[in-house]
């Protein structure tokens, strides 16, 4: 669900810049706010004023949460059990120079130390319990503790928001490589590309039994298929120049979201969004927090791989773009029908015949090109990106991928 939030900030910005004053007021008057622990310090005398309507100065850390609460959502999503879990938790980091962004998805079943929060916490449990312990502020404190980052901005969305936002956008094209059939969420998608909106989009984002290995880890990689397509759709000319889509998407988001006090300022939302507006899609990377199955966590839960995570968050702290070993994950593969980039010029020398016999006694040509060794995790590759360990799965917004059904 929180996949929509990455794009929401940009949509609110474009809307705030281009629509009439009444429309801007109508959107922002619908916003519900909540205070984070860090908001109290920001409200003290002498705190800097909100930024002007231009790209925000410096980097951004923004936590995005999708709640499973049924309160006020009708009976279409199952019985309200009275709890509220953050079943989707994503951290958006924008570099200080606005050249790259990284989105980290935290598995809902990741067992972590939930810190003392206003209202609860102070014990070890799956991360998705943090929202019920102290609301959005507690989830922020939990991710700050896990990542070592300071997170001044946060937002939460519920089921109805996903449906209304996808309807306003007109659908998101999603590629499926193998049949997805999940009776739990009612998702049935045959191989091919389908435009998902409304309840279909929500069901796709919620399904885990229908994709990959049936786990939340598979669901994350499938959500990244949706998210990358969503970002490409919103950055397309047809969306950015369509007033109706922009306003409808902004209004749907604002009416179904809870924003932290410092994010709810229209100036702040516009400033953050303008830092994303011209970013290269290949520099927007979605990754899953690395984890593994361990004896010390309950069955079905996963433990944090702190060594691999340290490489990821060191890169984020240094504002470095990141590179995954290969695009895809447990429930996603590269789309074989993806648009093909223009081929780079090739040398005129004929390539060697791989089937030709090799003479082991033949002298080695010192001028012959040498196949480069795979870069070490934590090193910087030729594109200037920090290479992540192989168990940090993900893709960029420029990667066309397909969801894989669970057979």
Q: What is the pLDDT of residues 288-304, one digit of tens each?
A: 999 999 999 999 999 99
Q: Which residue has the tokens 């929509």?
A: 4
Q: Which residue has the tokens 């435009």?
A: 195
Q: Using an 8 Å Cβ cutoff, are 79 and 274 in contact?
A: no
Q: With bands split at pLDDT 50, 70 and 90, how would you rate the model's confidence at 166?
A: confident
From residue 19, alpha-carbon distances to 13, 233, 276, 400 in Å are 10, 20, 19, 32
Domain borders along the chain are 3-338+379-403
First and final C-alpha spacing in the chain = 24
Instruction: Return contacts of 192-196, CB within 8 angstroms, 24+ apart.
Output: 195/170, 195/171, 196/166, 196/171, 196/172, 196/226
Token code pair at residue 319: 């504002």
pTM over 0.85: no
Instruction: Please state, rounded to an integer, the average pLDDT across all residues of the chain.
Output: 81
- 92-125 per-position pLDDT tens digit: 999 999 999 999 999 999 999 999 998 788 999 9
What is the predicted pLDDT for the residue at 327?
94
| C-alpha torsion 14→9→326→379, nearest 10 | 100
What is the predicted pLDDT for the residue at 41?
60
Q: With bands split at pLDDT 50, 70 and 90, how would you rate the model's confidence at 341?
A: low
DSSP conformational letter for 211: B
Q: Where are the alpha helices (DSSP H) in 51-158?
A: 130-147
Residues 279, 257: Cα–Cα separation, whole Å: 25
- 215-232 per-position pLDDT tens digit: 999 999 999 999 999 888
Between 202 and 375, the more confident residue is 202
Superfamily of the domain at 3-338+379-403:
LCP protein (3.40.630.190)
Token code pair at residue 69: 């609460």
Token code pair at residue 336: 């074989």
| pLDDT at position 71 over 90 | no
Between 274 and 102, the more confident residue is 102
Q: Which of 289, 130, 272 is nearest to 220 (CA)?
A: 289
Burial class, 296, CB count within 10 angstroms (exposed 0-12 / middle 13-18 / buried 19+):
exposed
Q: Where are the alpha helices (DSSP H) in 277-395?
A: 306-317
Token code pair at residue 17: 């810049």
Residues forming a β-bridge with 386: 322, 380
């Amino acid at each position: 669900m929180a996949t929509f939030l990455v794009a929401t900030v940009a949509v609110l910005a474009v809307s705030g810049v281009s629509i009439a004053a009444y429309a801007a007021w109508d959107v922002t008057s619908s916003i519900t706010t909540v205070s984070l622990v860090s908001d109290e310090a920001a409200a003290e005398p002498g705190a800097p004023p909100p930024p002007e309507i231009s790209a925000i100065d410096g980097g951004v850390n923004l936590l995005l949460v999708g709640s499973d609460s049924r309160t006020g959502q009708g009976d279409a999503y199952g019985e309200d059990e009275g709890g509220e879990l953050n079943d989707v938790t994503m951290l958006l980091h924008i570099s200080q120079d606005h050249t790259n962004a990284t989105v980290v998805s935290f598995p809902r079943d990741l067992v972590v130390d939930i810190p003392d929060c206003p209202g609860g916490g102070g014990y070890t449990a799956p991360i998705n319990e943090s929202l019920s312990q102290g609301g959005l502020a507690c989830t922020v404190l939990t991710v700050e503790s896990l990542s070592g980052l300071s997170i001044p901005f946060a937002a939460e969305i519920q089921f109805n928001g996903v449906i209304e936002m996808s309807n306003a956008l007109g659908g998101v094209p999603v590629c499926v490589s193998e049949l997805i059939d999940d009776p739990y969420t009612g998702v049935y998608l045959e191989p091919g590309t389908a435009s998902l909106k409304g309840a279909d989009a929500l069901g796709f984002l919620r399904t885990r039994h229908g994709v990959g290995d049936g786990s939340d880890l598979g669901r994350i990689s499938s959500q990244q298929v949706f998210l990358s397509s969503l970002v490409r759709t919103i950055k397309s000319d047809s969306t950015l120049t369509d007033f109706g889509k922009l306003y409808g998407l902004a209004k749907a988001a604002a009416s179904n979201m809870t924003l932290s006090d410092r994010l709810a300022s229209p100036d702040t939302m516009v400033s953050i969004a303008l830092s994303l507006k011209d970013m290269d899609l290949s520099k927007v990377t979605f990754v899953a927090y690395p984890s593994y199955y361990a004896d010390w966590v309950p069955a079905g839960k996963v433990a944090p791989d702190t060594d691999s995570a340290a490489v990821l968050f060191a890169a984020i702290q240094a504002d470095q773009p990141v590179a995954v070993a290969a695009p895809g994950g447990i429930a996603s593969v590269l789309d074989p029908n993806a648009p093909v980039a223009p081929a780079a010029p090739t040398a005129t020398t004929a390539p060697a015949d791989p089937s030709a016999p090799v003479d082991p006694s033949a002298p080695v040509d010192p001028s012959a090109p040498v196949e480069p060794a795979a870069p070490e995790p934590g090193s910087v590759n030729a594109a200037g990106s920090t290479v992540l360990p192989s168990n940090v799965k993900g893709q960029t917004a420029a990667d066309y991928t397909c969801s894989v059904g669970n057979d």
